[in-house]
Amino acid sequence: MAESQVPPGPPGPVVAPVATKPAPSLLACLACRHKHLKCDGKNPVCGRCSMTGTDCQYTKSRRGYQGHSKKRRVDPSPDATSIEPLNIVNVPSDWNFQSGFHYAPTLAISSSSSGSPGTNDVSAMGPNVQRPPTDPLTPDSSASAGGDGYLLDIYYTYFHSAHPILPPLRFLSRQQLPAFLEQVMKFIAAHFTPATSSEIYRPTVIAGVQEQPSSVEKAQALLLLSIVLHSRNERSEAAECLSTAVDTAFELGLNQASFADIASNGDPIRAECLRRTWWEIFVIEGMLTALGVQKVYRTNQIPLEVALPCEERIYQEGLTPPPPPDIAQFDGRIFADEEHDFSSYAYRIEAVRILGRVVATQNVVEGQQDQVEAIDARIASWFHHLPESKLELMRPDGSIDEIMFQATMIINGASIYLNFPRSDLLSSPAVASEVICGHHGPISVPAFSHHAHAMKAIKAASELSSLAAIRLPVERHTPFFICALTLSSIVQLAACSVKAGRMPDPSRDRIGLTIGVFKSLGRTWAISQSIMRQIKAVSRDVLEMGVRQSMDQLDLTSILDTGLFWAGDDPS
């Protein structure tokens, strides 16, 4: 049929083309999302990250994704009807680890770690991989199909480098995590993004781990929970999780030298993962014992047999590590003719061992002075024997050696614990205040002069402030950095207190920096918000001392007689 002919109308007015604004990008990198900033979506680096030098990463977009068909969620074989809804599926073979983590929302990954039976009950490693019925996200739930798998990207971006005990992201399919550990990772990651709430996972995540039989993965999950719960200011729950993690580690024999080799079945990534799990338990228990959360440092009371972890680059890239050294070889480096390379992890472990010795001296009555002098020499020796490769925390590419960062943080914290209670800085209000992450303990007899101890404590506090000045996203540091900065703040405010509230500009600047870091970390960790308010209050009290003439005659005798030097726990 011929088209109808419509006579042309009169020519209309000529309209100039209107300039339109470019449509906003539908793609935003993780850094811009986290900061609620506009992102131009350019690949591989957006404009904002290019200007700021921020690590720019994207999550695979799931727009338009309708989720897996229920028919594709089960085995399509004729016997599929007999399969239970919570059966385990294998990791897809088409994961592309080079372009980013591609998450299958129905994935429930099991552990395939089994080894030859020996002195350890290796068969106990096999976790119950069924997803707990109380999990907030199940394989068949629409919320899971909607894509909470992006939280695993966030876990590896913001948390993994601070506590790198799980398999590197690119090898996740080889190691295969059970569902309860996956939920713990999502719970942790939810603290770093406004896209979801950690409270979705909080009600069931602990019970979902505690009900599992003993396995390495259970120990890992409990350890990670202890870190995060402490950072949420749930300190008693953190202590309970850590205590169970230690029990599980001893039950499995994770502390034995042969365990990693037997249980890994010849997989070097798995073996390294197992060694790191033991040493991370050792490190975290040491720090929580110093903070008064744990009463006894149990992992430090047995022979240390497990080989030391390798460098981060080797582990993260899946390279074949050299034969791992042990503690005896590390301790012997001081007297060796040739200098050998040890990982940042080894120096972090040594820093925690020194911290453990400091805490142990609090209950020593006789011979304490000799021990204090020996530990003080050990702290100084730690710095002197650092190889040149470990002196700079910043790498040439602008990234930071996070494990060495923590090692420096811990050793300076140990110096404060050793010297502050023996110094002449024990004045009110900084010491009499109640600040979270403080530790109760008696004033101790100085091994040197009170003033010498004070100078050592102030030096360590200043070094911790220097760590805070590194211009990198503070969210990627361990949350225990909050506790270290609390010690630093108390020491510096105490130094100002003895000067009747006179706070010189450098001290004011360092305190201001620390409060700023508390503010930034408070967006992620609740404990930082509480500590920030308390440190601000103490700072105001210290500054007010400068305008009260009576403080010029401040008498420290009454404070010394109280027998307490540390700030107490938050009564709330």
Tokens describing residue 263: 């249980």
Which of 317, 332, 349 is the endpoint of a domain?
A: 317
Lowest mean pLDDT among 120-134, 144-158, 309-323, 534-548: 120-134
Residues 287 and 397 in one domain: no
Angstrom distance (rounded) from CA 328 to CA 334: 11
Alpha carbon of residue 63 to chain centroid: 32
Residues 371 and 282 in one domain: no
Q: Dihedrals φ, ψ of 434, to 5°?
A: -115, 105
Query: What integer pLDDT is reported at residue 141 of this predicted model?
Result: 33
Angstrom distance (rounded) from CA 435 to CA 490: 9
- Domain assignment present for residue 7? The answer is no
From the list 241, 214, 119, 113, the residue with the least C-alpha distance to 167 is: 113
Task: Give the position of tokens 């050592």.
Answer: 456
From the list 478, 379, 484, 407, the residue with the least C-alpha distance to 438 is: 484
What lies within 8 Å, CB to CB, of 220 at 6+ separation is: 165, 166, 181, 277
- Domain assignment present for residue 381? The answer is yes
pLDDT > 70: percent of the chain: 70
CB atoms within 10 A of CB 147: 16
Lowest mean pLDDT among 103-112, 236-245, 406-415: 103-112
Query: What integer pLDDT is reported at residue 350 of this predicted model?
Result: 98
Which position has the higher pLDDT, 52 or 272?
272
Which of 317, 342, 357 is the endpoint of a domain?
A: 317
pLDDT single digits (tens) 519-557: 999 999 999 999 999 999 888 888 776 545 344 444 444
pTM of the model as a whole: 0.72
Residues 272 and 371 in one domain: no
The count of domains in the chain is 2
- Domain assignment present for residue 233? The answer is yes
Give me the residues paired with residue 506 across strands.
Answer: none
Residues 302 and 196 in one domain: yes
Q: Please give the average per-residue pLDDT across 93-117, as a whole number.
A: 31
Highest mean pLDDT among 2-16, 274-288, 462-476, 524-538 belongs to: 274-288
CB 408 within 8 Å of CB 467? yes
Which position has the higher pLDDT, 212 or 565?
212
Query: What integer pLDDT is reported at residue 196 of this predicted model?
Result: 94
pLDDT single digits (tens) 231-261: 999 999 999 999 999 999 999 999 999 999 9
DSSP symbol at 394: B
pLDDT score of 362 more than 60 = yes
Residues 302 and 383 in one domain: no
pLDDT single digits (tens) 323-337: 999 999 999 999 988
Query: What integer pLDDT is reported at residue 319 of this predicted model?
Result: 87
Residues 100 and 181 in one domain: yes
CB 139 within 8 Å of CB 73? yes
Query: What integer pLDDT is reported at residue 25 of this predicted model?
Result: 58
Cα-only R_g, the chain: 27
Query: What integer pLDDT is reported at residue 177 of this predicted model?
Result: 80
Torsion sign (Cα): 160, 293, 221, 311: positive
Query: What integer pLDDT is reported at residue 314 of this predicted model?
Result: 93
Residues 448 and 513 in one domain: yes
- Domain assignment present for residue 9? The answer is no
Tokens describing residue 495: 């130094």
- Domain assignment present for residue 181? The answer is yes
Residues 282 and 414 in one domain: no
Residues 379 and 300 in one domain: no
Query: What integer pLDDT is reported at residue 556 of this predicted model?
Result: 41
Angstrom distance (rounded) from CA 26 to CA 522: 29
Which of 261, 286, 317 is the endpoint of a domain?
A: 317
Query: What integer pLDDT is reported at residue 326 of this predicted model?
Result: 95
CB atoms within 10 A of CB 263: 25
Q: Dihedrals φ, ψ of 326, to 5°?
A: -115, 180
- Domain assignment present for residue 174? The answer is yes
Preceding amide of 429 cis, omega within 30: yes
CB atoms within 10 A of CB 229: 23
Q: Please give the average per-residue pLDDT across 560-572, as a whole number.
A: 40
Structural element, H or E, at residue 402? helix 402-419
Query: What integer pLDDT is reported at residue 193 of this predicted model?
Result: 94
pLDDT single digits (tens) 257-304: 999 999 999 999 999 999 999 999 999 999 999 999 999 999 999 999
Residues 405 and 297 in one domain: no
- Domain assignment present for residue 82? The answer is no
**Residues, the chain:** 572
Query: What integer pLDDT is reported at residue 442 of this predicted model?
Result: 59
Residues 229 and 92 in one domain: yes
Burial class (CB in 10 A: 0-12, 13-18, 19+), 386: middle
- Domain assignment present for residue 336? The answer is no
pLDDT single digits (tens) 26-48: 678 887 776 667 788 888 888 77
Query: What integer pLDDT is reported at residue 36 of this predicted model?
Result: 64
DSSP assignment of 481-523, as one string?
A: HHHHHHHHHHHHHHHHHTTTT---HHHHHHHHHHHHHHHHHHT
Angstrom distance (rounded) from CA 444 to CA 145: 59
Residue 149's pLDDT band (boundaries 50, 70, 90)?
confident
CB 308 within 8 Å of CB 345? yes
Residues 311 and 382 in one domain: no
Residue 127's pLDDT band (boundaries 50, 70, 90)?
very low
Task: Give the position of tokens 């249980």.
Answer: 263
Angstrom distance (rounded) from CA 108 to CA 143: 15
Question: Domain residues for 527?
Answer: 365-562
pLDDT score of 486 more than 50 = yes
